[in-house]
Amino acid sequence: MNPERKTPERRSRKARRTRDSLAQAAFELVLDRGLRNVTVEEIAEHADVDRRTFSRYFTSKEAAVLDPLRGDGDRINDALRARPADEPPLTAYRRAVLDWLEDPEAQAWHRRPRIFDLLVVAEEEPTLYAAFHHIRVDAQEDSVAIVAERLGVDPRLDIRPAVTVAAGAGALLAAQAAWVRGGQPDALPRLVGQAFDALCGELLTQRPAGPAPHSTTEGNAPS
């Protein structure tokens, strides 16, 4: 090892450990006690650092507790880059998501302890949900760039990459919401498959069954 690089690398490892320690402390405290019952000072104390150190790594307790989810968008995007170049964009996005779900080393949400519980809390806490939305947006911006590169287009001039990612990410978000509200921690892969099936097939070809029973259109209005 180059002696000149040894100290920066050591500092980098230490910084990573500190960040992980803070994120783990936030994760455990919030899931055990609830977001509103945990302060930044308590997270820092639990990680054996001071408040100033916390602020070097995170802007809020919401950002800290959600840090374990930040890498999942990167994992999906890595899988998207690796998909065959001749796959249609939406198919490539779908299979990238499935690759992430099926890879034991990637530890997708249904394989990781208490991530289901974290997403339940995120559905209930507006500030946590908003912070999670920002994480998703960051990942989707990278996805748009990857799809644009696959298509050989400029995403500022061609809308197709943004439409592809919005559709695919929307299917994943719908599956996530159904997963959390359904209370079945092992059901995520099945729900993701159903969401993409609906997006790519049923919603494009299936005719509506007719107005819902509560419709107030003229034909169903009471006389």
The amino acid at residue 19 is R
Residues in the chain: 223
pTM exceeds 0.85, yes or no: no
Q: For residue 69, give the amino acid letter.
A: L
Whether residue 22 contacts residue 47, with contact meaning beta carbons closer than 8 Å, is answered with yes
Residue 140 confidence (pLDDT) above 60: yes
Residue 207 has pLDDT above 70, yes or no: no
In angstroms and rounded to an integer, the radius of gyration of the C-alpha atoms of the chain is 21
CA 48 remoteness from chain centre: 29
Taking residue 118's Cβ as centre, other Cβ atoms within 10 Å add up to 21
Residue 109 has pLDDT above 80, yes or no: yes
Q: Where residue 80 falls among pLDDT bands split at 50, 70, 90?
A: very high
pLDDT interval class at 214 (50, 70, 90): low
**C-alpha distances out from residue 15 to 51, 68, 118, 147, Å:** 15, 16, 24, 33
pLDDT in tens, 168-183: 999 999 999 999 999 8
* Tokens standing for residue 173: 């978000």
Confidence check: pLDDT of 11 > 90: no
To the nearest whole percent, how much of the chain has pLDDT over 90? 75
